[in-house]
Amino acid sequence: MSYPRRPLPTAFADRRRVAFRLAPLLVFFAMTVGVGLVHAVLQSLALAGPPALDPARETMSRWYAYHELLTRPDLLRSLGHTVYVAAVSAVGCVALGSVGAYLLWRAPDWVRRAGAVYRLPIILPHIVVAFITVLFWSETGLVASLLRAAGVVRGTAAVPRVLFAGHGVGPILAYVYKGFPFVMLMSLGVLDRVPERLVTTATMLGAGPVRVFGAVVLPLLAPLLNQLFIILFLYALGGFDIPWILGASRPQMIPMTVYALYFQGSLADRSIAMAALVLLAATAGLFVVVYARIARRLSARERPV
């Protein structure tokens, strides 16, 4: 597809033309995502979906699903746990990725070249990353075997439980392992366009590596990191594959809860599953709006400096 090269359209007419050209895409999104979302909302209110087999269902209120969702402590706890796992994972990815990118950017060329292996997890599917995590961290995994071989622990029962425990470390490890190289890759793309003299000047003015990172590199990366944080957080919020392999039974991550309610529960549970998805989508939307607003305010405050 080739489009004539010309200045970006700014006039109203041009804008309309762009909107018109994008329209097929928008219609497609509206039909797929939009219809799906509307259908989910309808099902959560029992306005669509299978005819209830449970006669008691007929007499329940429209808001039955939301009422159940908000009054069952386990479901709310699931939602809270999922937000926590997603947030910790995204923070971990961004922190590790940005520092990693900075170190690699400052490193000599040969280190950079050798360091390129960091990209490996980017091409691995999430499910593979989940299995790698099991391979390393399970009670019979590599780490436990090494600890046993070194005589640090005896027997499988004595190994500290990393996976499948209520603190969500398993999914977090997997999400960080999968996500931080992505942050590194994107950050290096920005850093490679940063003029060397910025760092040189800072160093000449007496800044150490930590100061350079905080005062020079981080502000340059901030807009990118904000976007990456949102992307990683949202993925971890709704991702199914990693919780499926690594999630604990209690508290359960919300995608697993939704799956169990929808496929393994009774028919009345399907509306609760849909309500949970609607709430998850609302949480995601709210998060993006709030985060973007905070990020904008912070960067506006920094601008005059």
Partner 1 sequence: MNGTIHTGARGASGTAVAVLWLAAFLACLPVARLVAGGSGETTRRDWSSADFGEIAAAARGTAVRFYMWGGSDSVNAWVDGYVATEMADRFGVEVVRVPMDASVFVNRLLTEKQAGQSRGTIDLVWINGENFRTARQADLLYGPFTQLLPNYRRYVDPATAETDAGFPVEGYEAPWGRAQFNFDVDTARAPDYPTSFAALREWVRDHPGRFTYPQPPDFTGSAFIRQAFYAVTGGHEQYLGGFDADLFARRAPALWEYLNAIEPYLWQGGESYPRDLAALDALFERGAVDFTMSFTQTSAASRIANGRYPPSVESFVMAEGSLFNTHFVAIPFNAPNTAGALVLADFLLSPEAQLSKNRLENWGDFTVLAMDRLPQDVRERFAALDLGDATVSLSELARTAVPEIPSEYWEALERGWDEQVRLR
Instruction: Give the largest Cα separation in the chain, rounded.
Output: 78
Q: For residue 297, give Cα distances in angstroms to 166, 290, 293.
A: 36, 11, 6
CA of residue 124 relative to chain centroid, distance:
16
146 binds partner 1 (CB under 8 A): no
Three-state secondary structure along 55-67?
HHHHHCCCCHHHH
Nearest distance from residue 147's CB to partner 1, in Å? 15
CA atoms within a 13 Å half-sphere pointing along the CA-CB vector of 123: 5
Of 160, 166, 189, 219, the residue at the interface with partner 1 (CB under 8 A) is 166
Residues 6+ apart with CB under 8 A from 52: 46, 58, 267, 268
250 binds partner 1 (CB under 8 A): yes
Give the torsion sign (CA, 43, 46, 49, 50).
Answer: positive
Of 105, 262, 287, 291, the residue at the interface with partner 1 (CB under 8 A) is 262
d(CA 235, CA 186): 17
Interface characters, 100-139, with partner 1 (x: CB under 8 A): --------------------------------------xx
Nearest distance from residue 287's CB to partner 1, in Å? 27
151 binds partner 1 (CB under 8 A): no
Nearest distance from residue 170's CB to partner 1, in Å? 9
Of 267, 288, 289, 292, the residue at the interface with partner 1 (CB under 8 A) is 267
Q: For residue 275, give Cα distances in angstroms to 34, 135, 262, 305.
A: 16, 35, 11, 46
Element housing 33 (H / E): none
Contact window for partner 1 (CB under 8 A) among 117-125, 201-209, 261-269, 282-290: 261-269
Nearest distance from residue 35's CB to partner 1, in Å? 6
Q: State both tokens at 214.
A: 């905080």
47 binds partner 1 (CB under 8 A): no
Of 69 and 104, which has the nearer Cβ to partner 1? Answer: 69
Of 8, 11, 13, 53, the residue at the interface with partner 1 (CB under 8 A) is 53
Q: For residue 201, give Cα distances in angstroms to 195, 196, 233.
A: 11, 9, 35
161 binds partner 1 (CB under 8 A): yes
21 binds partner 1 (CB under 8 A): yes
Of 82 and 98, which has the nearer Cβ to partner 1? Answer: 82
Nearest distance from residue 88's CB to partner 1, in Å? 18
Q: For residue 64, give Cα distances in angstroms to 59, 60, 254, 272, 286.
A: 10, 6, 19, 8, 23
Q: Is residue 261 within 8 Å of 272, Cβ to Cβ?
A: yes
Contact window for partner 1 (CB under 8 A) among 8-16, 92-100, 198-206, 246-254: 246-254
Give the SS3 label for residue 42.
Answer: helix
# residues near partner 1 by CB under 8 A = 38
Interface characters, 25-44, with partner 1 (x: CB under 8 A): x-xx--xx--x---------
74 binds partner 1 (CB under 8 A): yes
Give me the residues that bind partner 1 (CB under 8 A), please: 1-4, 20-21, 23-25, 27-28, 31-32, 35, 49-51, 53, 74, 138-140, 156-157, 161, 164-166, 244, 248-250, 260, 262-264, 266-267
